[in-house]
A and B are shown apart, each in its own frame.
Chain A
Amino acid sequence: MLSIKNLEARIEENEILKGLSLEIRPGEVHAIMGPNGSGKSTLASVLAGREEYVVTGGSVDYLGKDLLEMAPEVRAREGVFLAFQYPVEIPGVSNINFLKAAITEIRKHKGLPELTAREFLNLVAEKSALVQLDGKLANRSVNEGFSGGEKKRNEIFQMAMLEPTLAILDETDSGLDIDALRIVAHGVNTLRNRERSFLVITHYQRLLEYIVPDFVHVLYQGRIVKSGGKELALELEERGYDWIKEEMAI
């Protein structure tokens, strides 16, 4: 589904990704871990199409198409979803209206008819219940005045509404207490299926107790330096990242 080959990217003068390769097949959950500054969020930003990041080498193939050639909205319409590490507050823009507009454009892109008002509202009710997002929050301005936990639940709510093929979770666990973490994880787990893949970016192993990955990768200095099963996350939790750095130095 997603095939990243030797990806190199920089922001301003800083080279962050230095030949990253990763293969994700349908239905798989991949976790990317790594110390601060290793390039985790850069990877998420490049995949979502943030223009500040310049790709200087390598390729990203998504469902047989060149992902890097697509505008951010086209990526979204083709099924790529990014749950933001820091969801943006947009005063005055209602969460619901914006999702309605987004779903309309996505369905148009796919040649599907527009949802009726009733179908849409039913979908909102169903998906907001999934992450226990209060109906009032769904109707408010995008993320405005939301707590940290509410913002992250709103990200997962939007993900559930848009039903992506590839979901990228950028440090969705940061700033969450244990209850919010459980709710968010439950939302993600409910959305897991044979076709849908996840790329879970996290600094801590804690999230992976709730969202159990098929593969764990360690990102260090812009490259994936180690890959393994879910047990690798536990090992990182116990031993920290230093042993990886030492291994790399040898």
Chain B
Amino acid sequence: MMSAQKTSLLDIGKLIHSDHSALSAIAPDLLDTAKDHLNNASFPTTRTEAWKYTRTTRISSKEWQLREVTTEVDIAPYRIENIDCNLVVFVNGFLRNDLCKVERGLFLLETFQEASDLKSLIHQLISDSSESTDIFELLSVSHCTDGMALNVTGVVSKPFHFIFLQTGKDVFACPMLIVNCAENAKLDLIVSHHSSEGSSTWFNASLHVNLEKGSTFNYYKVQNDSSESFSHIMESIHQSDNSTSNLVNVTLSGGWIRNNVDIRVDGSGCEANLAGCYAPTGKEHLDNHTVVDHIKARSNSNELYKGVVFDQGRAVFNGKVFVREQAQKTNAYQQNANIVMSDDAVVNSKPELEIYADDVKCSHGSTTGQIDEEALFYLRSRGLSEMSARKLMVSAFFADVLDRIELKELRSHVVSKLIENGVMLS
């Protein structure tokens, strides 16, 4: 499909065989708005700047259905070893209450279906999405399979782990998660994505976070998808004064992945740290798009994305940092580094900086290269096989990203997965 064809709700009906939305009861107005906008939206083509390197035709040319799974599902393989956490499980985008394990704490957790206290919060955080021009974002509202809202009112010591499992053929899963951290509250949130072997799924997940003054949000996402899966993930975070967000995104696998991270640093004294590592193999396609928008003065952001690309894999990085006119004394750093491991591996990296204030410290950089042959020979001359030497150097390369994972059980889980996948050395 070369031309940007406008969709209509009729087309969407052919694309996704469902008109279910978990928001229909609590936000019918937003649902209507989103549907209206869908009438004028279209799938982006590579002529759209933000989609220059990532094609959507393999999604838009298929037909998808919702498939709620009510039978027994073994989630043991998706849990993190030795971690004590609150557990929430979604299968094919639908909440599986029977598999959740959440203890009482300084928070309120509600499903979209039964939301009462958090109804206005949900409204507040997704009203922009219902008026978006982005088809994936509109669908997150109009076709939301299921959703949850979490309001954190204090320091929650036990991390939350949300497991999103996709399974089956041509399955569309579209869950949404809303998080609010009240003043000085703190939350550790782990989200892991899995699609079972041989499944072909379109996972269109979104996360909306609001951070009140002085709150801290540590967010870790681990993507573990099959080669036949499509994942479009949207994460938007709004920060007020003195709030901190720490994001680490580890992409272990996935056929087609687009991550959209959007952080609005709308306060002073904020910290926004985002990091990612990825290692696409085979024909995997991974696209990380990030926006950090500094709106107010005296806040810091630090972004570090690193990738190792194997075989015919492709990695796209586009990081945008805005420093608005009022955002004086901003410190903003952005770095993307890539290693290509084969002649057919492709990296498209585009760091962008737009500064409208005059008293700021900003830097950005992008490097793409190969493993240092001289270092490789040095390691081999000490008895390491070429493979081990390469893995050892990748381990070193990823270290500063993985060190940003403060939950040590999660860090060792991720490291062992990377070793299992043959990316790093044990």
Question: Which residues of B lie under 8 Å from residue A203 when comparing CB positions?
Answer: none
The answer to whether A93 and B392 touch across the interface, beta carbons within 8 angstroms, is yes
A72→B377 contact, CB < 8 A: yes
A90 at the interface (CB under 8 A from B): yes
When A90-B393, A93-B396 are in contact, do A102 and B384 touch as well, CB less than 8 Å? yes
Name A89's closest neighbour in chain B (CB-CB): B375
Give 1 or 0 for each of A101-128: 1 = CB within 8 Å of chain B CB: 1110110010000000000000000000
Residues B380 and A98 in contact, CB atoms below 8 Å apart: no
- Which single member of B377, B381, B385, B395 contacts A105 (CB below 8 Å)? B385
**B357-392, CB under 8 A of A: which get 1 and which 0?**
000000000000000101101111111111011001
A97 to B382, CA, bound (A): 12
A44 CB to nearest B CB, Å = 11
**A207→B197 CA distance, assembly (Å):** 62
**Interface code B396-422, partner A: CB below 8 Å = 1, 0 otherwise?**
110110000000000000000000000
CA distance A101 to B388 in the complex (A): 8
Q: Are B382 and A98 in contact (CB under 8 A)?
A: yes
Map CB proximity to B onto A53-82 as digits: 1 under 8 Å, 0 otherwise. Answer: 000000000000000000111011100011
Check A91 against B396 for contact (C-beta < 8 Å).
yes
Q: Which residue of B lies closest to A99 (CB)?
A: B382
Question: What is the number of residues of chain B that contact chain A, defined by CB distance less than 8 Å?
Answer: 23
Kindly supply a per-residue 1/0 record for chain A positions 179-211, scoring 1 wherever the CB is within 8 Å of any chain B CB and 0 otherwise.
Answer: 000000000000000000000000000000000
Chain B nearest CB from A114 CB (Å) reads 12
- Of all chain B residues, the one with the shortest Cβ separation from A93 is B396
Shortest CB-to-CB span from A206 to chain B, Å, is: 26
Q: Any chain A CB within 8 A of the CB of B425? A: yes
Q: Does A137 contact B (CB under 8 A)?
A: no
Contact partners of A102 in chain B: CB under 8 A: 379, 382-384
Interface centre among B374, B383, B395, B396 (most CB of A within 10 A): B383
Q: How far is the CA of A109 from the CA of B379 in the complex (A)?
A: 16
Contact residues, A111-164 vs B (CB, 8 A): 141-142, 158, 162
- A162 and B392 contacting across the interface, CB-CB below 8 Å: no
The answer to whether B378 touches A87 (Cβ under 8 A) is: yes
Is A88 an interface position by the 8 A CB rule? yes
User: Which among A73, A88, A92, A142 has the greatest number of chain B C-beta atoms within 10 A?
Assistant: A73
C-alpha gap A91/B372 in the complex (Å): 11
Q: Which residues of A contact B385 (CB under 8 A)?
A: 73, 105
Contacting residues, chain A, for B397 (C-beta < 8 A): 92
Q: Does A49 contact B (CB under 8 A)?
A: yes
Residues of chain A contacted by B377 (CB below 8 angstroms): 50-51, 72, 88
Complex alpha-carbon distance, A73 and B378, angstroms: 10
Residue of A50, A93, A162 most packed against chain B (CB within 10 A):
A93
Q: Could you tell me if A84 and B378 are in contact, using CB atoms closer than 8 angstroms?
A: yes
Given A92-B399, A101-B425, residue A82 in contact with residue B381 (CB < 8 A):
yes
CB distance from B70 to the nearest CB of A (A): 48
Distance of A4 from chain B, by nearest CB (Å): 19
User: In the complex, what residue of chain B is closest to A91 when comparing beta carbons?
Assistant: B396
A143 to B384, CA, bound (A): 17
**CB atoms of B375 and A105 under 8 A apart:** no
User: Does A48 sit within 8 A of B, measured CB to CB?
Assistant: yes
CA distance A50 to B376 in the complex (A): 11
**Inter-chain contact A90/B375, CB cutoff 8 Å:** yes
- What is the distance, in angstroms, from B423's C-beta to the closest C-beta of chain A? 15
- Residue from the set B382, B395, B400, B425 with the largest chain A CB neighbour count within 10 Å: B382
Other A-B pairs beyond A101-B392, A102-B383, 17, CB < 8 Å: A49-B381, A71-B380, A71-B386, A72-B377, A73-B381, A73-B386, A75-B381, A90-B378, A90-B379, A91-B396, A93-B392, A93-B393, A93-B395, A97-B392, A106-B383, A141-B396, A142-B378
Complex A-B, nearest 6 residue pairs according to Cβ-Cβ distance, in ascending order: A92-B396, A76-B383, A88-B378, A102-B382, A72-B380, A106-B383
Q: List 18 A-B contacts (CB under 8 A).
A: A48-B381, A72-B381, A76-B381, A81-B381, A84-B378, A84-B381, A88-B374, A90-B378, A90-B379, A90-B396, A92-B393, A92-B400, A93-B375, A102-B379, A102-B382, A106-B383, A158-B382, A162-B382
